[in-house]
Structure 1
Amino acid sequence: MAKLIEKDLEEAILALPTKEKNKILIRLIDKNKVLVEQLHFKLLEHPEIDLKLRQDSVADQIENLKRYNAIKSKELLTLQRSYFAQISHHKRITSDKVGEVRLSLKLILKFVTDYSLVFNKPDLKYNHKLNEYNIKKMLLLLKNLKGIHEDYQIEFVDDINTILDFFYNGIHAGLAKSLALPRYID
């Protein structure tokens, strides 16, 4: 990304008295909500305990997701997108790669388990979009899985293979194959 300030201006800013620089810095940080939350997490929260609490909060929301008896593909897709937005926000604030994989996996597994009939109804208008979205999320999850330590990867293998099996045994197996979703991982 290109710098927005010139070299001369940068040097002049660095030459300002510390008190004045701090005022400017606080004013700039206050304008960015995500940066404020990131700094709060990094500077004020315990790196392990609060990370676990944040992760558990999102996981509890996924776990306590109301089970709908009659839901359409479009509504399910909208609901799922909102939960993935929460997971992305968690990752953006905490830089928690393992948590992102764990939460994404938990979310997809919950949806394919609770709403397997919706995923496999061929006559629903948004069914193809729902399956394509989830397959692409699985591909992203598998990519992110490679970026974490092997000890964590082992923890997720069974759930990932359950989801992969679901997509390859459903009506959109051809879509899974065309998007290069693996049949299983080891």
Structure 2
Amino acid sequence: MSLHKQPELKEAVLNLPQKEKDKLLVRLVGKDKMLMKQLHFQLLEDQIDLEDRIEKLKERLAALFVESRNSVKNIPVYSNYKELQSLIRQASGMINEHEKITKDKYSEVDCRIYILNQAFTRFPRLFEKSAVHSASKLHDYVRARIKTTTAKFAKLHEDLQFDLQAPMEEMTVFTMEHNLT
């Protein structure tokens, strides 16, 4: 139930003594892990911490793709399509969490381009035309990720776009060559 739909409750909460509101706020924040992470970032971290977070995220993404050598092969068979889609989803989840906490659009786009380019570079045969159903599911999923990434890239300031131009062009060239647009 939303507080917006109960204006009398909202008014009553706002009229509570400050000490009582503080207690309620601390209790409520403790029940939502994402809210705790967001508040920690907003209240206790600075630009250096953001750079550390970005670096750690990139390291985790790189490690994820290195570890994928054990589970995903560049051979167009059902299991590899499924595993690669799972890998990209896992990496996307890591980026989603980072963006929800930091609200940093540049690093979000940078990392999204990175995971797509890693997938294209490491597993190019999995993006060739195939009659396997899991291949079309992977390709559809990747098309959606490309569309989202391109839209987010377009919203960045032109100076930030310039910084990401080379990896973005690499992604675009691959998608054109493999008809993923």
TM-score using structure 1 length:
0.84
Deviations 1:84-127 (A, max 9, x none): 00000000011010011000001100110011112225244311
Residues 73, 125 of structure 1: 8 Å contact kept = no
Aligned position for 1:101:
109
2:133 aligned counterpart, secondary structure = coil
Residues 118, 127 of structure 1: 8 Å contact kept = yes
Aligned position for 1:155:
163
Moved more, 131-140 or 84-93: 131-140
Among 71, 74, 88, the alignment partner of 2:82 is: 74
Q: How do residues 59-70 of structure 1 correspond to structure 2 at under 5 angstroms?
A: 59-64=58-63, 65=65, 66-68=67-69, 70=73
Q: How do residues 123-134 of structure 1 correspond to structure 2 at under 5 angstroms?
A: 123-134=131-142
Aligned position for 2:148:
140
Percent identity (aligned): 30
TM-score using structure 2 length:
0.86
* Runs of 5+ consecutive residues of structure 2 not aligned to the other structure: 74-78
Aligned position for 2:5:
4
Greater share of helix residues, 1 or 2? Answer: 2
Residue 146 (structure 1) shift: 2.0
* RMSD between superposed Cα atoms in Å: 1.8
Residues 4, 10 of structure 2: 8 Å contact kept = no
Aligned position for 1:116:
124
Moved more, 118-127 or 76-85: 118-127
Aligned residue pairs: how many? 171
Moved more, 25-34 or 121-130: 121-130
* Runs of 5+ consecutive residues of structure 1 not aligned to the other structure: 182-186
Runs of 4+ in 1 over 6 A off after TM superposition: none
